[in-house]
A and B are shown apart, each in its own frame.
Chain A
């Protein structure tokens, strides 16, 4: 595996970014990409997907839903809701003090079935002046996220939408396990899009790149996942995880005028102690107040610049 390999889940979905309509995906086209990269395991997984030359959208969605269910189990185990909350709560305190607009709108980019937002709605105690909105291009994942939130009476919403073209301004953008999907100019553009719509802050949590990350990811995906695609893409995600300097450079280039720093970004001899890191972006005037409100956790936040 190498960092240039595309994730299979990204190849199985093709969305028109203007209309958000789903485009048919040809098995042959996906296979050609996989062969070009020498991704034999992914090719076997593709061969195992039932159907003809054009991949059946419902079948692909079924795989993605199962993969997301398993991913949620892993997110629970790694306490990703809590992981984001420890940064989001002090961030909201700062925004409440500095911004007049209400509600404070938090938008989860590529939310999938919305685990993090639903967790925040259930356990985050973020306050009545906070609105949680999850965006994803996949209608099936969003329909499930809505259904789950409704069933459990959670105060969060989900939309099939481009998170950067919403009619109402997002104050905080967040994501979990999303940024490794973007590389090069697309990564810079990801941050540019958020800055250009006037975000006050962003929190992007992802696997921390280290020598141990692919091995650790393999162990957990073998132990916890059943869906072959989830196992494959999970390990590849760790391989694709961006080194700290790449994240900071891309965010500072694209996300200006916001200031950026990594939480848990410091390299450590034993990377198993910190398996994920979070890229924090804030408007310059919020940087110091945010650090103050973090309290003891601020020791794990590198300087903003």
Chain B
């Protein structure tokens, strides 16, 4: 259950990273397909990442036994706790932004969506560092830190190989 929850959090985060990787690059108005494609890409890469870490965990379990596995699931539970609080606030604010009136929408953005985007890498890395510091095994600590580093850079990863901005005059680098 813990691993599933952590996977769900990574999936949601990856999908939202997909949105942000695309945002601010295309000045058109009707962008549903554009954002949907980028979010799909974020979702797919997050699934790949989740499977990769799960596979790595299973390999470590095969070599280290149940003790290592138990320490990794304990570390995952701590990560779910930290990231769960963050994700709950963000998803609630996103819901408010998308469904509410003009004023509440802007307020959700000002209070949560903007600041929390800025805090996201800090929360991810601080959470991972705390979990690593309190882990029983090196394997759990290593998994927490490496997962944290990957997720903190997830938006950057999604922009790798992205087609250059195009279709506008003066719009290339």
Contact = CB atoms under 8 A, between A and B. Distances in A.
A148 B27 contact: yes
Contacts of A77: 109, 113-114
B111 A272 contact: yes
Contacts of A151: 28
Nearest to B107: A273
A152 B24 contact: no
B30 A226 contact: no
A148 B28 contact: yes
Interface residues of B, number: 28
B118 A223 contact: yes
Interface in B4-44: 23-30
Interface string B143-173: 0000000000000000000000100111111
A140 interface: yes
Given A82-B102, A219-B118, A223-B115, A275 B110 contact: yes
Contacts of A83: 102
A68 B173 contact: no
Interface stretch (A114-122, A176-184, A282-290): A114-122
Interface of A: 58, 61-62, 64-66, 68-70, 72-74, 77-79, 82-83, 86, 113, 115, 118-119, 122, 140, 143-144, 147-148, 151-152, 154, 216, 219-220, 222-226, 272-273, 275
A113 B24 CA distance: 13
Which of the listed residues A66, A83, A225 has the most CB atoms from chain B within 10 Å of its own CB?
A66
A73 B102 contact: no
Nearest to B159: A226
Given A73-B23, A224-B117, A62 B110 contact: no
Interface of B: 23-30, 102-103, 105-107, 109-111, 113-115, 117-118, 165, 168-173
A216 B113 CA distance: 12
B24 A65 contact: no
B27 A144 contact: yes
B52 to A, nearest CB: 27
B110 A225 contact: no
B115 A69 contact: no
